[in-house]
Amino acid sequence: MKKRVAVGLSGGVDSSVSALLLKEKGYDVIGITLKLSSVDSCDSDIQVCCSTKDILDAKRVASFLGIEHFVVDWQDLFQEKVIDYFVEEYRKGNTPNPCSICNRDVKTGKLAQYAKVVLNADFLATGHYIRLEDTENGKVIKRGKDKSKDQSYFLALVHKEILDILKFPLGDFTKEEVREIAKKYKIPVSQKKESFEICFTAGKSPAEYLMENRLYDFKEGDIVHISGKKLGKHKGLPNYTIGQRRGIGVSWHRPLYVLDKNEEKNVIVVGEDKDILTDTVKTKDINFFVPIEKWKNISVQGRYRQKPEKVKEFYYKNDTLEIKLEKPNVRYAPGQILAVYEEDRLLAGGIIV
């Protein structure tokens, strides 16, 4: 019998081509689309996923490919696991990464289990630009061929046991190649723009989303230089993130960076370039793909669009991983994801504290 693959159809080009490639390989392909929000539409220049239009686009693609299509309403689950987490982290003064949490708890991890148990699928496939590799430590995630599109960073929290039932058909393709395949086969969404925004904010910044939905009490507070001198007022902590340089709203004789956000005192601490650098980063809630005793020559990435930083030393105790970098780097924002790599292999991921 053919192996059955459920493809997470988002209504975009990447997931549509993933379904096409798997069908061409002879798999029994079905499509599954998640309804995660009540967003109906967005401005034409703003592309987000999970809107009602995206569900309709996914239905069009499934019909075009001649595959079964299922829509699952997980709005309550998404609210609990992702949006509530997002809001709570901002209330703590952190800068969360909702996409990584969503991949772990909803779109990839939870969906893989649902596809297997409810839809009798052998695998779940997604349109992520990453690869899987069989090693002596079992399956591990590797960066995709297209380094400009590599999305392994966002999968750093997905539990290792899920990897055996995941497939990533686009790992060995570039984005341009995927576009060409979509055009060649005349897939209905071949010209659709990519989504870059946080899906549930509908194109708004996190601060705008929190303010418009009255999810955070925006209070003015002091902006204080690391020396103790008050420089001005901030417009609410969610408007700022660690490492930010532009838009702080105060002047100084040298460029300033956000060093810290103190939720308890409602204060933002700023400093100069020498103050923003650190050679230490700590993470909690570590998700291991490869046991730590087998790590060597590792690097870390604490932002999606960041060049990996080489690691000098690392320590793990009481579920906290402490990393010493070879060279000081701009400090990372608490709440973001720290991904640990050995060359292209993803070894672990955790939440920065």
Classify 123 as helix, strand or coil: strand
Q: Which fold has domain 4-201?
A: Rossmann fold (3.40.50)
Q: What is the DSSP letter of 83?
A: I
CB 156 within 8 A of CB 97: no
pLDDT at 44: 47
Question: Taking the CA atoms of the chain, what radius of gyration do you get in angstroms?
Answer: 21
Residues identified as active-site? 102, 199
pLDDT attached to residue 203: 80
CA 158 distance to own-chain centroid: 11
Has domain 217-271 been given CATH number 1.20.1070.10?
no
Residue 318: count of CB within 10 angstroms of its CB: 5
Q: State the pTM of this model.
A: 0.91
Annotated domain spans of the chain: 4-201, 217-271, 276-352
* Orientation angle between helical segments 13-24 and 52-65, nearest 10 degrees: 20
Tokens coding 262: 């103190």
What does 286-334 look like in DSSP terms, one character per residue?
Answer: EEESS-GGG--S-EEESSTT---EEEEEEEEETTEEEEEEEEEEEPPPT
Token pair listed for 339: 């991904």
Distance CA 208, CA 229 (A): 29
Number of residues written out for the chain: 353
Q: Give CA torsion, residues 113, 115, 121, 127, to 10 deg.
A: -100
**From first to last of its 353 residues, what are the pLDDT tens digits of the chain?**
789 999 999 999 999 999 999 999 999 999 999 999 776 654 445 555 567 888 999 999 999 999 999 999 999 999 999 999 999 999 998 999 999 999 999 999 899 999 999 999 999 999 999 999 999 889 999 999 999 999 999 999 999 999 999 999 999 999 999 999 999 999 999 888 877 667 888 788 899 999 999 999 899 999 999 999 999 999 999 999 999 999 999 989 999 999 999 999 999 999 999 999 999 999 999 999 999 999 999 999 999 988 999 999 999 999 999 999 999 999 999 999 999 999 999 999 999 99
Domain 276-352 classification at class level? mainly beta
* Domain 4-201 identical in fold to domain 217-271: no
Pairing mode of beta strands 4-8, 257-262: unpaired
Q: Quote the CA–CA distance of 65 and 140 in Å, as a whole number.
A: 30
Bridge partners (DSSP) listed for residue 135: 138
SS3 at position 73: strand
Do residues 327 and 284 lie in contact, with contact meaning Cβ atoms separated by under 8 Å?
no
